Structure 1
Amino acid sequence: MAASSHRRSLRSRRTLVVSAAVVAAGVGAGVVVMNANAGTVDLYHQTLAAKDGWASSGTGTTGGTKADAAHTFTVSTRAQLVKALGSASDTTPRIIKIKGTIDANTDDAGKKLTCASYAAGTGYSLSAYLKAYDPATYGRSKLPSGTQEKARAAAQTKQAKNIVFKVPANTTVVGVAGTNAGISGGMLQIQSVDNVIVRNLNFSATEDCFPQWDPTDGDDGNWNSNYDSVTLRGATHVWADHNSFTDAAHFDSANPKYYGREYQIHDGALDITKSSDLVTVSRNQFTNHDKTMLIGSSDSEPSGKLRVSIHHNIWKGIVQRAPLARVGQVHIYNNYYDVTTLNGYATQYSINSRAKAQVIAENNYWRLPTGGKVAKLLSGDGTGSVKGSGNLVNGTVTDLVAAYNAASSKDLKTTVNWTATLTAGLETSAKNLPTSLAATTGAGVLK
């Protein structure tokens, strides 16, 4: 949920003038309202409400709300976005309004760039790469090295310089209402900075032109790609709200296979790694994606970080990692999971708790198709915990952990070592979530 810069509580804001439909759905965020004392509450200066998840802890999350006119930008091209972001080390508050869809795969003049554009001059070609590292001749015991691997890495570096947007501290990046605002083919990188807000944006087609073959990944090897639509690495106080994430227009079903393995060009949608901390992910839509949200990049990440709240999101056509949680304290509540296969994306599991993660999952709703198994909605490695309550499957209260443990040799633990207190907006019943969240989540809802 959002709040004004004066930190009005969600309850008080709901007394303001908002549409009956929004109030019925329990949503006050993002609607421009009038307050006799504070004037218009505008989308660009809204901050995270008190007690709204982990990102409200301590100093809270205000993004660029203190930006002056010189640091308030409206951008509609890649070049303008790069200029508005400035240096990743500049902590001056800034507000960046994205108008329309920015194509990250364009040059400074707006000319379209392709995978061939990034490969040009590097010596890389997919056919040569496939010939060089064919397991039948190269083997499966070591990562690729040599001329073609160096060329692949060089081409990937060229692409990264163009499509990775580094977000500095004290920044709000927000879509302009009514413009189909978003970023196509790019990655917002929030790394080693504090106090960032990302709202009202469509993220699509984040694709790696140059996946790396790893013959040692699993029993049969895997192709691994390099870009998330939004990535948090060592970031703190981040609020991601009312965004939409999708692989469209290129779904995984269109990926070819090489060496018998899918040539995967997508990585994460919104990943929270490298000891990131104090994050709230609210009212987003995640659709048509495989490895969607990774919390913690390694089982050996230090404890005490990776505190994340995930609430009032829609997950539809998601294969896995909704989320996969390691190490941290993660609160997952009031989400809607539709695990019906969509555009070829068939769910393997929704929530994975591993590496001693401490997950509280309450009052979520799963739509399970005929033949689907409740035992497959969760996953774990035998060390993680999921404390569950009030979760519904097709409208019926269901003990997801008990169902999983009955079918698994690596039981999820059922108790956690923390108590969730930052729970503004928590709905005690999940019954109406499929209907209410359909109208109140994702990009384009905020006005």
Structure 2
Amino acid sequence: MRRAVAWRLLPVLTAGAVGVGFVALQAMPEAAAATGGVTGYATQNGGTTGGAGGAVVKATTGTAIHQALCGRASDTTPITIQVEGTITVGNTAKVSGSCNTAAGVIELKQISNVTIIGVGSGAIFDQIGIHIREAKNIIIQNVTVRNVKKSGSPTSNGGDAIGMESDVSNVWVDHNTLYASGGEDEGYDSLIDMKAGTKYVTVSYNTLRNSGRGGLIGSSDSDTGNGPVTFHHNIYENIDSRTPLLRAATAHIYNNYYLGLTKSGINPRDGGKAKVDNNYFKNSADVLGTFYTDLMGSWQVSGNIFDNVTWSAPGTENHPAGPNVTSTTTISVPYSYSLDPASCVPSVLASTAGAGKGLQVSNGSCTPTSPTAGPTTSSPRPTSASPTPSRTAGPTPTQGGGTNLSIGAGADGSSKGSGTSYGNVIDGNLSTYWSPSGTTGSISVKWSAATSISRITIREASGATGRIGSYRVLNADTGAVLASGSGAGTVSFTKTSLKKVTFEITGASGTPQIAEFETYA
């Protein structure tokens, strides 16, 4: 259960270069934020807490992010920056002062104790990369970074979605979606790169797709001072190679789903070591080995599934681990962790990996669960300008005896009231909601492929319970009525395969506020 949080409203600050503003909200001492959930090497070397316990600032432009970093009492003062909207090269200017930023890139340079987290309707870094340099104790969470280019226009961050270099330590990259629209020939480089002394990193619950290069640890065979790094519960889809390329560093790689790797996958080389546990590899080529060099790496393997994986013939600079994959080294890790069986990795990551999934995680037994602590995906919303407005975070939705299939799906509806969003009913957060523009209307959950469901749960927002009167549950594909009744709660019906299900409110005592529209098989 999330703790109640009290917030103090501070003056509005203006991000000078582009004339946009953000509101700073300072966490009261009794409600210091907990990061929770970080597992892996980022828990070592003192741990990774980001901006926990510091001020909370909302930003809607890149300049506002820089202004928040530069407006701290010092470059080590903890801060959480809640990002909403679309960040672009055009709205990201250099901010002068005691900080060290640059135009056209989100620059986290020579700083520490920072969390950047997407909130509300989402945070999209469009063609602009996040550059972490000479920094420590950084969390990047729940954002989408897309189409960052190193050539063409605009260019940003050397073409890396997230890049870390030059004495970086204790970074947690979690629940993000990173993608490009091609490879190096199309102007893109990598999705996550670590080099020049990047250490103690965890990369978890991210979706990385449609790129020539997934990422590397070590930029050259002489760049040997990086790692260790943990990669767990990530989806790598439609990527040519480097998932990751691992030079002279140690990586623990577990419970990831690799789909459509066209050239090579996990590539330890130049003394690099990979502990590869309970991953699922599907429809891919050369998913593990030392490739493109005669400087060998090594691996320890257990519990992996190789589903339609092809292997090339060994050669002077080509050393695939398969088709008979066996361990060539032994690696121990200094932290505890829970392994999901590889067989359920594709299904559990469909509900948990990437931005906009409610920060759900796996419990080690193939069941997505909501986080018990840590940054939430909703913004604190003071309701007045009184000195000490307060907000109590709503409880985390329960899973209702199964996987909530709405997480990761889409949503639409008949109308939406001011300040509400269709997507609020599928974000796993009871503190956000959808309302129709009147007392009646409909809200739908939809999938790209037919999905079988037999039960829905409608959860009303706190303070608005009991407003929903009569309703119908519709198969939106055919218009068939699956169920009807009155009031919110759980509705069961004959299992039906459909792409879209609609909850239609036909009568209400006031404007309904639906926090979550959960669906179950």
Same fold (TM over 0.5): yes
Equivalent in the alignment of 1:252: 182
Tell me, yes or no, if structure 1 residue 175 matches structure 2 residue 118. Answer: yes
1:172 counterpart letter in structure 2 = T
**1:353–1:386 Cα contact (<8 Å) kept:** yes
1:393 aligned residue: 306
> Which amino acid in structure 1 is aligned with residue 64 of structure 2?
Q
String of CA shifts for 1:263-302, please: whole Å, max 9, x gaps: 4411111111112000000000001111121111121124
Q: Percent identity?
A: 30
> AA paired with 1:320?
S
Instruction: Tell me which protein shows more helix as a share of its residues.
Output: 1
| CA distance 1:394–1:67, change in 2 (3 Å) | same
Partner of 1:162: 104
Distance 1:80 1:376, change over 3 A: closer
1:62 aligned onto 2:49: yes
1:86-128 per-residue CA deviation (whole Å, 9 max, x = no partner) reads: 289811111100012212333669xxxxxxxxxxxxxxxxxxx
Closer/same/farther in 2, CA of residues 319 and 87 from structure 1, 3 Å limit:
farther
Indicate how the Cα distance of structure 1 residues 350 and 93 shifts in structure 2: closer, same or farther if over 3 A, else same. same
| Aligned-partner SS, 1:80 | helix
Residue of structure 2 equivalent to 1:266: 188
Instruction: Output the aligned Cα RMSD.
Output: 3.2
Aligned residues: 317
Matches within 5 A, 1:344-355: 347-355=262-270
Mean alpha-carbon deviation: is it higher for 284-293 or for 413-422?
413-422
Aligned partner of 2:59 among 65, 75, 100: 75
Aligned residue number for residue 219 of structure 2: 297
8 Å contact kept, 1:386–1:412: no
Give me the whole-angstrom Cα distance separating, in 2, the residues matched to 1:423 and 1:163: 36
Match 1:86 to one of 52, 70, 73: 70
* C-alpha contact 1:290 1:319 (8 A) present in aligned 2: yes
189-198 vs 76-85, which deviates more? 76-85
Query: Closer, same or farther in 2 for the Cα pair 1:107/1:296, shift >3 Å?
Result: closer
Q: SS of 1:407's equivalent?
A: coil
Aligned to 1:359: 274
C-alpha distance in structure 1 between counterparts of 2:127 and 2:59, whole Å? 16
CA distance in 1, matches of 2:125, 2:114: 17
Task: Give 1:48 deviation, angstroms.
Answer: 4.7
Q: 1:376 to 1:94 in 2, by over 3 A?
A: closer
TM-score between both structures, scaled by the size of structure 2: 0.55
The correspondence for 1:194, drawn from 117, 136, 141, is 136
SS at match of 1:325: strand
**Which among 278, 284, 307 is matched to residue 206 of structure 2?**
284
CA contact (8 A) 2:83 2:116 kept: yes
1:326 equivalent to 2:235? Answer no
Cα distance in 2 for partners of 1:417, 1:48 equals 29
Q: Which residue of 2 aligns with 1:407?
A: 314
Distance in 2, Cα, partners of 1:44 & 1:229: 30
2:35 aligns to what?
Answer: 47
Question: Does the 8 Å contact 1:205/1:246 carry over to 2?
Answer: yes
Q: Deviations over 1:117-152 (max 9, x none)?
A: xxxxxxxxxxxxxxxxxxxxxxxxxxxxxxxxxxxx
The amino acid that maps onto 2:158 is N
Cα deviation code 1:294-315 (max 9, x no counterpart)? 1111211245x41000000001
Per-residue displacement from partner, 1:377-432 (whole Å, max 9, x unpaired)? 5443341012111110229xx9x9xx66x6344546843353124242322x2001
1:319–1:105 distance in 2 versus 1, CA, 3 Å = farther
* Bigger radius of gyration among the two: 2
> C-alpha separation between the residues in 2 aligned to 1:229 and 1:355?
25
Where in structure 1 are there 5+ consecutive unaligned residues? 1-32, 110-158, 212-223, 254-261, 340-345
Aligned residue for 2:352? 440
* CA 416–163 in structure 1, closer or farther in 2 if over 3 Å, else same: same
Q: CA deviation at 1:240?
A: 0.4
Q: Shift of the alpha carbon at 1:164? A: 4.1
More strand by share: 2
**Given residue 229 of structure 1, which amino acid in structure 2 is its aligned partner?**
A
Partners of 1:263 and 1:78 in 2: how far apart?
A: 28
1:44-102: CA deviations, max 9, x gaps? 9342547x10000131100000213xxx2100012212211228981111110001221
Would the alpha carbon gap of residues 196 and 269 (structure 1) be closer, same or farther in structure 2, given more than 3 Å must change? same
Alpha-carbon spacing, 1:208–1:195, altered in 2? closer, same or farther (3 Å): same
TM-score by length of 1: 0.64
Q: 1:210 to 1:420 in 2, by over 3 A?
A: same
Which residue in the other structure is 1:242 paired with? 175
Q: Deviations along 1:302-352, whole A, 9 cap, x unmatched?
A: 45x41000000001111111100011110110000111xxxxxx6211111
